[in-house]
Chain A
C-alpha cells in the first residue's frame, strides 16, 4: 500500500492510512518552537564546531592525500609479502642443499659442538670428561662380564 497514491481502495486499513496520511496534525502556535529553540541555542552559546568542516577548495588535496596514503600502505603490504616469500624460498633451498650434502661423522660432531655453544678453548676439557666417561663405561661392562663368567663357570 502506498499512502501517496491517494486512491480510495476497498480495504478499510488502506482507507484509514490514506486518511491519516492526508490529515497532518496542525501546529497551532508556530512561534513557540522557534523561540524556544533559539533561546536554548542562545543560552548555551553553542556555535557549531567548525573543526570538522573542510572547505570545498581543500577537499581535492585531502582526497589526494588519502589515496596516496592508501596506496603507500598497500605497497608496503605487498613489499612485506614478497620479502617473506623470498626468505621462505631461500630457507627451503638451503635445507634441500644441506640434505643433499654427504656429511662426514667428524664434521657432524664438530657441527654439534658448535650448535651446543662450546668454545674451542673448552674442547680439551670436554674431551677429557668424555674420555673418562667412556673408560668408566668400559670398566663397568668388563666387571659385569667377569662376574657373569664366574657365575656361569662351575
Chain B
C-alpha cells in the first residue's frame, strides 16, 4: 500500500516535471511542445468555455481562439504564476467576448428542464449528464439574470473558481462579486422554487 502511494506521488511529480518542461519548450517557440500543451489542456479549457457559452461549437471556437492567443502572447506569460491560471483566464475572456456577441434562440422547454431536474433529484449523486443537458440546465439557471450575475454564478458555483480567480477574469472587486453572486443565487432559488411548487401542485 505504502509502495503504491509512493509510486503514485512519484508519477504525479514526474508528470508535473514533464508538463513544466513542455511549457518551457513552448515558451522557446517549439510548436510540437505547444501541441502537447494543447492536447493536455483542451478538455479543461473546453469545460470552462462550454459552461460560459452553453454551446459546443462556440466553445470549441473559443478554445481554439484562446490557444492561438496564448501562442502569440507567450512572451507575456509570467513564469512565477501557474500556466493553467493564465491559460484559463485567456479562455474565459475569449468565451465572455463570444457570449456577448452571440444571440441565443430560446429553445429550452420547461419539460426538458423538469426531466433533468428530476434525474438529478432522484438519481444517485453519480448521475451523468450529457452535453446538451448541461447546456440546457446552465442556460435555464442563468437566463433572465444580468450578464455580470450570470458570469459570477457560472465561474464561482459551477466552474468552482475562487474569488481571486473570478476577480482576475472579470476585473471586478470582491464586494461586487459577492453581491452579484448573492442576487444570482436568490433569483435562481426563486425560479427553482416556482418549478418545484408547480410539480407539487400537479402531484
Interface positions of A (Cβ within 8 A of B) = 1-4, 6, 8, 11-13, 15-27, 30, 32-34, 36-38, 40-42, 44, 46-53
Contacts and interface: CB of A to CB of B under 8 A. Distances in A.
Contacts of B120: 15-16, 19
24 contacts: A3-B158, A12-B192, A12-B196, A16-B192, A18-B125, A19-B127, A19-B129, A20-B158, A21-B157, A23-B127, A23-B128, A25-B46, A25-B47, A27-B60, A33-B42, A33-B63, A37-B38, A40-B64, A40-B68, A42-B31, A44-B72, A50-B29, A51-B75, A52-B76
Given A21-B158, A27-B42, A8 B35 contact: no
B144 interface: no
Interface of B: 27, 29, 31, 34-35, 38-39, 42-43, 46-47, 50-51, 56, 59-60, 63-64, 67-68, 71-76, 117, 120-121, 125-131, 134-135, 137-138, 141, 157-160, 185, 188-189, 192, 196
Nearest to A41: B71
A30 B158 CA distance: 23
Given A25-B131, A33-B42, A41-B68, 11 more contacts: A12-B189, A21-B157, A21-B159, A23-B128, A23-B129, A27-B43, A33-B46, A34-B39, A41-B31, A42-B31, A49-B75
B64 A37 contact: yes
Contacts of A17: 157-158
Contacts of A26: 130-131
B160 A21 contact: yes
Contacts of B42: 27, 30, 33-34
- Tell me what chain B mostly uses at the interface: helix, strand, loop, or mixed: helix
A50 B125 CA distance: 49
A30 B157 contact: no
Contacts of A16: 117, 120, 137, 141, 192
A66 to B, nearest CB: 16
Given A12-B192, A16-B117, A32-B60, A48 B27 contact: yes
B31 A38 contact: yes
B68 A52 contact: no
